[in-house]
Structure 1
C-alpha cells in the first residue's frame, strides 16, 4: 500500500480525475484493471481520512471515485468480495445468528474514586512482587468509550467476521453490518499478521447523532435517547443497508487473539494504525498511578469538547508479560481498571408526570421538567422507573428535584430537594391506554389488558410471529407496524383474516409477497401446542416451560380449563413451573381481554395435542453444541436430543458426553472438552450417532 504514495503508480491517489469515459467504451480487461486501481485508491483515501485524519482529496472527488468503482463492478459483473463498495450493505438477514468468540470478551473492574484506583495499583504491585517481576511498572491510559463493544476478525489480512460482546463468550453475528462502517478496513495494510482478532468500540459521533435524531423527528419517528442506544440499535439491524445509511464509527483498542505477539499495550496502539485500524489519539503512557489519576481528571475536563461520548478512562498495565503474570479472575483481568466519571447531576422542577405503557405492558412513569442543561445536553424528561421509586422519593408535580444521567446518559430523578406540595404522585390504578386494572409485581406495575391492550398489540403480534414462537416469515417488526397503521390488524387473530388484495394495496407489497405471507399464515393454523403457548406471550412462559406444560396437560383446552378454574397447584406440579409462573398462567387466562382475543384466535387456529416423546434412545447422554450446523438450527438440534431422552446444555463439564462442533466454532468449548476428556463430533459424526441409536434426524 505504501506504493500508492506515488501518484504515477495509481492515477486516483493525488488530484484524481472526477470525470470518466463511458464504461461501455472499455473492454473487460481494461475495466478490471481500472476497478482494481480504484479499490486500492479508495482504501488509501479511507486510511488517510479515518486513521490518519489527514485526507488528501475532498469529499466530492472521493464520491466520484467510489461511484465509478460501483459503475464498473455492476457493468462488468466483477467480483466484489473485499471491495470497498460492499460497505453499502448486503441482502437483509432473517435474524442475527450467535457466534462464539475466539477468546473471552470480559468486563473489567471499575470504581469512581481515587482510593479505589490506588487500591488497584497496590494489588498489582503486590502480585508482581510475589511473581518476582523485575520490569518497570507503567500504565497505558485510554478513554472509556460509551458505545458497543465488538470483536472483529481478520484472516490473511481480509475482514472475515464481527460479533457483539454478548455475554462475553457468545455474541450476535453482525458481520454484514460492521462491514458497512467506513472506519473498519475490509483489508489490512502493511505487514499484517496472518490472523488477528481485535476488540473495538462502535459508537455514533455526537454531531452525527444530533443530525440523525433531527431527521428522525422530522420524519415523525421518535428520537434515540443517546448515542450509545443509537449505535446499538443500528448495529443490530437485520438489513445491512439500513446500517450503512447511519453514521457509525469505531475505535480499536485490544487484541483477543493474534498470530503475532505484542510487548505492550503501547506497542499494540502504535501498530494498529500501520495495519489500517483506527485508534483514539487521547491515550497516554504514564510511570505511576498518581499520573494516571491526573490523566483521568484531564479527560473529565475535556469530555464535553470531544466528538464522542466517554464515561471514564481505562488504566492498563502496559507490559504484556506483566499482564500474563497478573492473570484474570473469573470475570475480569487483574491488570486493568476502569476509573469512572461521576454521573452528571442538576436540579429542575417537575411540571407533570405521564405514565407510558410499554410493549410488554409495563407502566413507566416519566417526569416532564423545565429544561435543564446537563453536560451540554438539554434534558426535559427523566425516568421515575416505577411506582415504588415515586413513593420512596416522595416526588410530585411542582417539586424541585435533582436529576442525573445514570450510566452517564439516561436521565433519572434521584431526589427531591424542595417540596412544593403534599404527598407523592398518585400512580393510576387502571391502564391509561385500555383502562384495564394495573397490577403490581414487586416494585413494578403492569397493565393486565394483555392481548387486548393497544399499547401491547404491536409487541404481542410481533412475538406471535417471531422465530421463537410460530416463525411466520415476512412478518417482522416493520411489517407488523405497517399492518397496524393501516388498520388491517389489531391483534393476532386478525392476521388470519388478511386477504391478498388487502396486502397488495400496502406500500412495498406486491402480489408475490402478499401471497407468500398468506401462505405462511395458513401454515400456522395447526401449530404444535408448545409453540402456540410460546406465541401467546404469557409472562414467564418460554420454550422449555411451554414444552413441559404441553407434555403434562396434552391439549390447549386442558390448560385453559385448569387456568380458568384457578388451580395453581396443578401448574406448580409441572417441572420448571413454580408459584410465580403458575400465577402468571392463571392470570393470563382470567383476563377478559385475553379471553376475547383467544376466542377469536381459536376460530382460526387449532393447537395440536402434544406429541409423545420419541423414546429414550439418548437417555443418559449429555450434548453441547458450538458453531453452526448445516442441517439444523441449534434450537432444533437441542429439541431433538431432549425428545429422545437426552440432555442439551450450554457449557462443557465433566458430565458432558459429546461436544458437537459446527462451522465457525470458537476455541473455548473445544478447550473445555479436551480438559474434561469429552468426545468431539462433527456434524456427520453426530448424525451417524443418531442413526446408530435409531434416532431419525429431522
Structure 2
C-alpha cells in the first residue's frame, strides 16, 4: 500500500493533536480531583512530569494552542494597567443582620410582597475574601472581573486563570454563555506558609488572609499570583435561560460543571432550620480551613427572587447574618479630629496596637460628641473595641475598673483642627461642622477626591494622594482647576515621571465624556448620592433646569424629600458653586443628558407607571421593563396608589394581586401590553 507524503503528515499531525488533547484532559481531571474534590489520584511529581510533557508538545506545535489548556495556568502574563470592564449583570452588596429578630423581620418583609406562600432558603457560609465575576462562553473561561463598585470592575483574567480550582474548560452540558460569582479566598494553611517564608527572609508578614487574597488579584505579574495558594468558592450563577429554577439546584449544577462549591450549603424549609444552621456554624466555623464571618440566606426560588427584586444597593431576597463580633481591650492614648469633605468633624481614638479579627487595630471611630459623652471616654482609659460588622473598629465601652485616678473629662473641640474656624452644630444633627467650606484644606481636597472617584468622574491616573499633592503645591483650588493642568506643571512634583504626568492629564480630559448623572453626583451636593443624582438628572435633563427648580418642584420629583431639595437649593444659591460649574462648562464637561435615539420608541406610555410581576412567555422581566421605559412609561418597584398597570405573568404573588385589586389597579397580561404598544 502506498501513502503520499501529505497523508503521512496528516496522520502524524492527528496523532500529535490527539496526544495533546489527551494530556490536557488528563491534567484537567487531576486538577479537579486535587483542588475541587480534595482527592488526588497521582503525586505532585507525576503531575509535574505530565505537565512538562504537554508544555513541550505545545511549544513544538503552536498551531494547537488552546487558551483553556492547563499550561495556561502557570502564569507569565504581565499586566501594566488593569482594564475597567462593565458587568453585564450588576454585582449587588448584601444587607447585614446581627440577630435572629432581624431575620424574622426580613421574612415578614418578604411575605408582605409574596403573601403567605411556603418559602425555602438556601443557607451558605459567608466567605471572607474578594468577590469575582467570571464569564464562560461555550464552556471556556472568557473573562474574570473584580467586583469594583458593583457596576464595573477590573479585568483580572490572567491572574484568575492561575487559580487551580477555577475551571478553564467546563464539564458536561452547560449553557452557551453565563456568569458565575465566587469568592477568592486564601486558606489559613497557605496564608501561614506565605508569612513564614516572609519572616525567614526578614520581611514584614501579611496582616490577614482577606486583604492578601484581594491584593493578589491586582498583582501585575500572573506568575507571582500563581505562586499563591488562592482558592475560588462559587456561590451564584447568573445568565439567561439557565437550566435550573432555584439557588440550591444552581449550586449543584455548578458542582457538576467543575466548580468548587462548598459542601456546607444547606436547604432550609423554614427559619427554624435556618437558625439551627446558624447556631451550628457559629460554633464550628473555627474548624474550617478558611475565614468566614457569617451566613448568607437566599430565597431559594428564582421566581420569588424576581418578584422581590432589588433595592438601590441590595437584593431583597438575600441577607447576610453576621456572627457576633470579636472584642478586645486596649488603652486609649489620645483623641484626634478629622475633617471630611462636607466639613463634618469625626473624632478618632488613637489606641495602643491590638490584634482584632485578624488585623492590627490602632485607631477607632468615636463618631461624634454625643458618643464621647455617652461613654464618658477619657484619654488613658482601658476601652473595649470590636469590629462593627467585622469591618470598622469601634469602641463600645470603657473598663471603669481600670480608669486611672485624676483623669480629665473629654472636652470636645470648639474650633476646626485644620483652619481654626469656630465649629457649628445644626439643630437635630449629631455632627459638628466646620463652616469654612471654601477655605478649609481637607474639605477642598476631599471634594476633589470625591469628584475623581470611580463612581463619579472615574479619572484614571489620578489618586487621592496626588490630589493632595496638587492642592498643597497650589496647582488646584477646586475640581474645575484639574482641566487646566499641564504636563509641565505636574512633572516637578514628587514621584511624578513623564508618563504618569501624561496619563493624569489624559485621564482628566477623558472625563469630559462622563454622562451628566455621574457629573451631578461628582459635584458633591450634600445628600445627593448616586441614586438621587440619577433621578434628578433623568427628571431635569440639564444642569440649567435643575439650578432653576424651586423647593416645591424638587419635592415633587419621585423620592426627593425636603432635606435633599433644600440642599440642592443651597448648593445653587452659592456664587462660588455657580462659578465652578461655569468653569466646568467651558472645559466641556457634560451638563445635560444625551438622549439615545431609539427609532422604534414612542410616547404612548408617557406618565404611566407599571409594575411587572410573575413569569412571562414572550419577554423576560428585564425586556418588559426596557419596553416600558422606551415607550415613555415608568417602572415601579412596588404597587401603590400611583401605579397605573400591573403586568401579570404566571405565578404572580398573591399579595400583589390582592393589593392591586384593593387599589383598583388594572391588571393586564403581556399580550395586552403588546397590543397597547402596537396601538402607537
The yes-or-no answer on 1:499 pairing with 2:486 is yes
Aligned residues: 589
**What are the superposed Cα offsets for residues 322-369 of structure 1, whole Å, 9 maximum, x if unpaired?**
x79999984799999977533223333322222334566544333233
Tell me if the contact between 2:78 and 2:221 (Cα under 8 Å) persists in the aligned partners.
yes
**Conserved 8 A contact 2:187-2:229:** yes
How far apart are the structure 1 equivalents of 2:25 and 2:53? 14
Which of 231, 252, 258 is matched with 1:276 structurally? 258
Matches of 1:415 and 1:438, distance apart in 2: 27
Q: Is the 8 A contact 2:511 2:589 kept in 1?
A: no
Q: 2:463 aligns with which of 474, 477, 498?
A: 477
Secondary structure in structure 2 of the residue aligned to 1:99: coil
Indicate yes or no: 2:36 matched with 1:51.
yes
In 1, are the aligned partners of 2:298 and 2:319 still within 8 Å (CA)? yes
> Which residue of 2 is the match for residue 536 of structure 1?
523
SS in 1 for 2:395: strand
Deviation at 1:370, TM superposition (A): 3.6
Give the CA deviation at 1:215: 13
CA distance in 2, matches of 1:32, 1:72: 9
User: What is the root-mean-square deviation of aligned Cα atoms in Å?
Assistant: 6.8
Query: What does the per-residue CA deviation read over 1:501-558, in whole Å, with 9 as the maximum and x for residues that have no partner?
Result: 45567878657x8667657756889999998765432323435546877858569xxx
Say which is worse superposed, 486-495 or 65-74, in terms of deviation.
65-74
Question: Deviations 1:152-211 (Å, cap 9, x if unpaired)?
Answer: 5645433356688999xx865677558446155344454344467655434444577789
Pairs within 5 Å for 1:58-97: 58=44, 76=62, 81-83=67-69, 85=72, 92=81, 95-97=84-86
Tell whether 2:368 aligns with 1:383: no
- For 1:47 and 1:227, the matched residues in 2 are separated by 23
Q: Deviations over 1:417-461 (max 9, x none)?
A: 317467753333444344455454623445545565443555533
Q: Which residue in the other structure is 1:157 paired with?
A: 139
Closer, same or farther in 2 for the Cα pair 1:620/1:238, shift >3 Å?
A: farther
> Which residue number corresponds to residue 399 of structure 1?
381
Find out whether 1:356 has 2:356 as its counterpart. Answer: no
Unaligned runs of 5+ in 1: 1-26, 217-221, 563-568, 627-633, 659-671, 694-698
Cα contact 2:82–2:155 (8 A) shared by 1: no
1:580 matched residue in structure 2? 563
> The residue matched to 2:35 in structure 1 has which SS?
helix
> What does residue 3 of structure 1 align with?
none
Is the 2:132–2:183 contact (alpha carbons within 8 Å) kept by the matching residues of 1?
A: yes
Q: Which residue of 2 aligns with 1:5?
A: none
CA gap 1:211/1:371 in 2 versus in 1, 3 angstroms:
farther
Aligned CA distance change for structure 1 residues 374 and 550 (closer, same or farther; 3 Å): closer
**Structure 1 equivalent of residue 655 of structure 2:** none
Structure 1 CA distance for aligned equivalents of residues 584 and 335 of structure 2 = 40
- Give the TM-score normalised by structure 2: 0.60
Map 1:66-145; keep pairs closer than 5 Å. Answer: 76=62, 81-83=67-69, 85=72, 92=81, 95-100=84-89, 112=99, 143-145=125-127
Which deviates more from structure 2 when the two are superposed, residues 308-317 or residues 282-291?
282-291
Post-superposition offset of 1:146: 3.5
Gap change, CA 1:297 and 1:534, over 3 Å in 2: closer
Q: State how far apart, in whole Å, the 2-side matches of 1:509 and 1:63 are.
A: 46
**Is contact 1:181-1:249 (8 Å) kept?**
no
The equivalent of 2:6 in structure 1 is none
Q: Alpha carbons of 1:431 and 1:156: their partners in 2 closer, same or farther (altered >3 Å)?
A: same
Give the gaps of 5 or more residues in structure 2.
1-11, 199-203, 613-621, 648-666
Instruction: Render the CA deviation track for 1:292-316: whole Å, top value 9, x for unaligned.
Output: 8777556444444544222345689
More off after superposition, 396-405 vs 254-263: 254-263
CA distance in 2, matches of 1:591, 1:212: 55
Q: Secondary structure at the match of 2:482?
A: helix
1:238-637, aligned counterparts within 5 Å?
Answer: 249-253=231-235, 273-280=255-262, 299-304=281-286, 306-313=288-295, 330=308, 341-358=323-340, 362-374=344-356, 379-418=361-400, 420=403, 425-436=410-421, 438-440=423-425, 442-450=429-437, 453-456=440-443, 459-465=446-452, 474-477=460-463, 480=466, 484=470, 487=473, 489-491=475-477, 492-502=479-489, 518=505, 535-541=522-528, 542=533, 544-545=535-536, 573-574=553-554, 576=557, 579-581=562-564, 583-585=566-568, 598=580, 605=587, 621=605
User: C-alpha deviations, 1:139-160, integer Å up to 9, x for none?
Assistant: 9975443446666564543335
CA spacing shift, 1:95–1:238, aligned 2, 3 Å: farther
CA distance in 1, matches of 2:472, 2:356: 40
Structure 1 length normalisation: TM-score? 0.59
Whole-Å separation in 1 of the counterparts to 2:594 and 2:92: 42
1:407 Cα deviation from its structure 2 partner: 1.7
**Closer, same or farther: CA 374–614 of 1 in aligned 2, 3 Å:** closer
1:619-676 per-position Cα deviation (integer Å, ceiling 9, x unaligned): 564599x9xxxxxxx9xxx9xx99xx95665869976899xxxxxxxxxxxxx99748
In 1, Cα distance between equivalents of 2:462 and 2:53: 32
Check the 8 A contact 1:493/1:597 in 2, yes or no: no
Taking a change above 3 Å as real, the CA distance of residues 59 and 546 of structure 1, as seen in their structure-2 partners, is farther
